[in-house]
Structure 1
Amino acid sequence: MGIGGISIGSLLIVLVIVMLLFGTKRLRNVGSDLGGALSGFRKAVRDTEETRDALALDAAEQTPVRAESTSRQA
């Protein structure tokens, strides 16, 4: 028995049918497009985390300055 009650033989039959319907070239294009999209998503998440960290660091550095300026005005 394979994954979730589906045997390996059944998975191979489904794979062969998909290859016959779509062809290997189209499946290769779909795979490369999916890989590119996943890579772009990971890069966007990484850039967002770096931006968030930079903004948090910048806000932490500016917080005492704002407190001093408000106490001078009061």
Structure 2
Amino acid sequence: MGGLSIWHWLVVLLVVVLIFGTKKLRNMGSDLGGAVKGFKDGMREGGEAPQAAESAKVAAQPLPDDKETIDVQAKQKN
């Protein structure tokens, strides 16, 4: 009592296939896979975007004249 055997899962799978049909289940599976892939791509791009924006800011700053000195403090990201 409490655990489901392989036969219970096969019966559940058969009932789900009979209710929804194989085509609808296939479409739901591909939609779910596309959503997961899109989420992973978004997470990967989300981590790279701030670095590209920072390098663009540094490149857009004008170069100082020989008479000017700019003091900056560098901080390391964690």
Identity %: 47
1:51: Cα distance to partner? 1.5
Which residue is equivalent to 1:39? 37
Say which structure is richer in helix.
1
3-state SS, counterpart of residue 18 of structure 2: helix
Distance 1:7 1:55 in 2: 54
Root-mean-square deviation (Å): 3.0
Residue segments in structure 1 that go unaligned for 5+ positions in a row: 63-67
TM-score by length of 1: 0.67
Letter in 2 for 1:37: A
- Which of the numbers 5, 8, 11 marks the counterpart of 2:6? 8
Which residue is equivalent to 2:67? none
3-state SS, counterpart of residue 5 of structure 1: coil
Distance 1:28 1:6 in 2: 25
Distance 1:55 1:22 in 2: 47
Letter in 2 for 1:17: V
TM-score by length of 2: 0.64
